[in-house]
Amino acid sequence: MKLVVLSDNNQLQESLEFEHGLCIYLETEKYKCLLDTGASDLFLHNAEKMVIDIEDIDYVFISHGHSDHIGGLQAFLKLNTKAKIVLSKKTLSQRFFSVRQGLHEISSKIDISKFEDRLIFIDSKTEFENEIFVFPCQPSIYPMPKANINLMSEDGSDLRKDDFNHEIIVCFGTDDLLVYTGCAHHGVLNILNCVEKTLHKPISTLIGGFHLLDGFPDQYESEAEINEIAQNINANYPQTKLYTGHCTGKQVYGLLKSELVDKLSFFYTGYTLIIHNK
């Protein structure tokens, strides 16, 4: 299994573009996928530079409805004529807003009228290719990220706190799993717990944002709370390797890294990973 980060906030190679968004290319011997599409068509430019054929993609999995994950979908649909688009129906039935630094919309206007036959909506556990599992996250047993307080949704009624009913989890593997978190708005611990209870398989790898932002302790998670998350992962998922970037703050990453050590790595635009899942 090969993964390549096509769009991320972080950049180490000057030849590649970066943005506040996330798009990861995933390839196996059986299929080729995109995990989200970033905020724009930027991922297309990076894919071309890295000799990845976007027209050959079989599936696109949209983790949730925010523009930094679905913003490039319209550009993708113009280029690729065959891929199935897998997402929650609630992703397209709502508008999304942030109140951080003033109220502003974080939805993307996607015209799906010509592509409805390519959409697959997820409201329960669904299997693809006998080794891809997609499902909504179940109710949380651990605290959700505190930065969620800035995020709102609107479905035709009043603006309300986003409950992330549009967020899906995507897993790959038969005997052990690679889990994609998107932004992990439900919280990385809740996602790990949900996967464990839903699929009853060991989790070898977890990749994506954790939505744990740098900030003052009264705004976001304190150092003690970050350490507690890391200690929980060490205790309950000792064999799991984690890869994060995008919406994981660099100070937060440093705290997590001090506890998780070689279990945790930071990704960036152009980051390439080979995983030998079963």
Would strands 2-7 and 272-274 be described as parallel, antiparallel, or unpaired? antiparallel
Chain segment 153-200, per-residue pLDDT in tens: 998 878 999 999 999 999 999 999 999 999 999 999 999 999 999 999
Question: How many Cβ atoms from other residues are within 10 Å of residue 70's Cβ?
Answer: 28
Q: How far apart are CA 276 and CA 218, in angstroms?
A: 41
The answer to pTM > 0.75 is yes
> pLDDT tens track of the chain, all 278 residues?
999 999 999 988 889 999 999 999 999 999 999 999 999 999 999 999 999 999 999 999 999 999 999 999 999 999 999 999 999 999 999 999 999 889 999 999 888 888 999 999 999 999 999 999 999 998 889 999 999 999 999 988 789 999 999 999 999 999 999 999 999 999 999 999 999 999 999 999 999 999 999 987 678 999 999 999 999 999 999 999 999 999 999 999 999 999 999 999 999 999 999 998 66
Q: How many domains does the chain have?
A: 1
Q: How far apart are CA 206 and CA 244, in angstroms?
A: 8
* Amino acid making up residue 3: L
- Structural domain including 236 reads 2-274
Cα-based distances in Å from 22 to 16, 68, 247: 14, 7, 9
Sequence-distant (6+) residues with CB within 8 A of 132 are: 31, 33, 59, 170, 171, 172
Nearest to 221 by CA among 192, 187, 194: 187
* Amino acid making up residue 87: L
* CATH, residue 222: 3.60.15.10
